[in-house]
Homo-oligomer: A and B are copies of this chain.
Amino acid sequence: MEKKIRIGITGYGNLGKGVEAAIKQNQDLELVAVFSRRDPASVGVKDPNIKVLPISEAENYKNDIDVMILCGGSATDLPEQGPAFATHFNTIDSYDTHAKIPAYFATMNQAAKSSGKTSIISVGWDPGMFSMNRLLGEAILPVGETYTFWGKGLSQGHSDAVRRVDGVKAAVQYTIPIEEAVNRVRNGENPELSTKEKHLRECFVVAEEGADKSKIEETIKTMPHYFSDYQTKVNFITEEELHANHSKMMHGGFVIRSGETGSGNNQIVEYSLKLDSNPEYTASVLTAYARAAYKMNQEGQAGAKTVFDVPIGHLSPKSPAQLRKELL
């Protein structure tokens, strides 16, 4: 058995927990330590044999960890942690503020180039697998349209917005692709569709005792930016129903490329995800890319990278010869 690739996790929320679970499914990877800003005693890592350390000690482990998987959020954690860690470690992150990706890439590229490390940014399913399929779609079928649908899935931001409404005790919000729009795309009609013409929003709400449900419903449906432009359904349920039926962080969606070749032949390509656990799937993608970051760094490819730069063979523990034999 070859030496295992040694992984560190920074940040132990849902994503970090998912990475811990994903590493256990890969024989060639081992988890060295989890780094957290919280008191290590309070972090509660699933495997009690795993070291939990304050994030300030991470640098001491730079010779013991081959790839650090950064499991913080894009708003405040990654802009700070990304460049700091890239100066000592190969890193993987799931930076997903689309508009700021070019700036984040530039910062990470500078940090990783100066240290000779490899940092693969914006890994996951969107950005990530969906991005790859958008690229493949237009590169292979340059005459055509690309459609991204999200859902059915739990949206954290929209659920939080509903929870802030007066009289709401608890709530979840699902983003759901509108079936008629999906079917038109799958049939090759190439319709023009805005985000709100592709998705509806469904809320499951637990009201406070004695709250005015019709007022809650109206407040949600008219909430600017979040709901007012969308078809929105509001369902009132009990707290028991919420816990029983709506506690999974399910998500998914699809990228469809509808192209035309030759003289009028329709060619439809679809990549779709149906996920019981959004954070665990994202974590599984990050974990596979940790292997790729390690290999690319061994090859001398320092700097920031994205899923567009990684030969996908590098994601697998199998040798190139084995991959050609078994999977091509």
Contacts and interface: CB of A to CB of B under 8 A. Distances in A.
A312 B323 contact: no
A26 B328 CA distance: 27
A262 B274 contact: no
Interface in A288-321: 288, 291, 306-313, 315-317, 320-321
A54 interface: no
**Total copies of the chain:** 2
Given A25-B143, A265-B277, A105 B324 contact: yes
Contacts of A306: 313, 323-324, 328
B262 A267 contact: no
Nearest to A138: B316
Contact of A277 (B129, B262, B308): B262
A243 to B, nearest CB: 17
Interface in A258-293: 259, 261-263, 265-277, 280-281, 283-285, 288, 291
Given A22-B261, A143-B25, A311 B313 contact: no
Contacts of A127: 328
Given A136-B312, A271-B271, A308-B312, 12 more contacts: A102-B321, A259-B284, A261-B280, A265-B276, A265-B277, A266-B276, A268-B275, A269-B273, A308-B323, A308-B328, A309-B320, A311-B311
B288 A261 contact: no
A141 interface: yes
Contacts of A324: 101-102, 105, 306, 308
A50 interface: no
Contacts of A13: none
Contacts of A284: 140-141, 259, 261, 267
Contacts of A75: none
30 contacts: A17-B262, A22-B261, A102-B325, A129-B136, A129-B269, A131-B327, A132-B312, A134-B327, A135-B312, A135-B313, A136-B312, A138-B327, A139-B291, A139-B312, A139-B315, A140-B281, A140-B284, A140-B288, A248-B265, A259-B284, A261-B281, A267-B274, A267-B280, A267-B284, A268-B274, A271-B272, A272-B272, A307-B328, A308-B313, A308-B328
A267 B25 CA distance: 14
Interface in A27-55: none
Nearest to A268: B274
A262 B15 CA distance: 11
A262 B21 contact: yes
A131 to B, nearest CB: 5
A281 to B, nearest CB: 5
A122 interface: yes
Contacts of A309: 311, 313, 320
